[in-house]
Amino acid sequence: MPEFVNPIEILNQLELQSSMIAADFGCGTGGWTIPLAQRLEQGKVFAIDILEEPLSALKAKTSLQGISNINRILADVERGVPEIQDSSCDLVLMTDLLFQIDEREVVFKEANRVLKTGSKILVVSWNVDSSFGPRQGKVSPDEVKEIAKNSGFKLEKQFKAGDYHYGLVFTKV
């Protein structure tokens, strides 16, 4: 039986504190946003997506579950997210995002802008050689590491994230 990405297990690997402020770049309908918001009870999660539909679905889900620490933002992370202040976040998530965007360097620079020094980025992305998932746009861990390094981050950890994904954790230097 194939093992898929488990957001809760992966988030458990991070040293999360309940008062952190996080940004989920390309949040979709909240598969990562909701478990993250539940962990950051006294904190806040900025849920950013380029499409209104997934943000509406996220709003409905969080209303049903009584989650109130998510700030939904309709924005294109490749163009920046001015609603988030400079150096205000402790964590940025980029999960199943990189295969969908053209300007990866720009997105890492935006993460650098919103993160405090010493804060982290979690990248979870499709394995390039995976027969499952998107046919185009997959990016290798080495390419992500190079982009991150050139954007002011150092690699902290690399791990297997299910049978079809890899995970990387970077720290802002």
Q: What is the pLDDT of residues 28-49, one digit of tens each?
A: 999 999 999 999 999 999 999 9
Give the dihedral of Cα atoms 159, 162, 165, 168; nearest 10 deg.
-20
Q: What is the pLDDT of residues 77-99, one digit of tens each?
A: 999 999 999 999 999 999 999 99
Q: What pLDDT, on the 0 to 100 scale, is given for residue 1?
A: 61
Q: What pLDDT, on the 0 to 100 scale, is given for residue 88?
A: 98
Question: b/e per residue, 132-148, with b = 16+ CB within 10 A?
Answer: eeeeeebbebeebbebb
Single-letter residue type at 68: S
Pairing of strands 21-25, 89-95: parallel
Helix axes 141-150, 104-114, angle to 10 degrees: 50
Tokens representing 24 are 């989920």
Q: What pLDDT, on the 0 to 100 scale, is given for residue 13?
A: 87
Q: What is the pLDDT of residues 45-63, one digit of tens each?
A: 999 999 999 999 999 999 9
Judged against a pLDDT cut of 80, whether residue 22 lies above it is answered with yes
Q: What is the pLDDT of residues 115-170, one digit of tens each?
A: 999 999 999 999 999 888 888 899 999 999 999 999 999 999 999 998 999 999 99
Q: What pLDDT, on the 0 to 100 scale, is given for residue 124?
A: 97
CATH superfamily of 7-172: Vaccinia Virus protein VP39 (3.40.50.150)
Cβ-contact 9, 167 below 8 angstroms: no
| DSSP structure class, residue 145 | H
Is this prediction's pTM over 0.85? yes
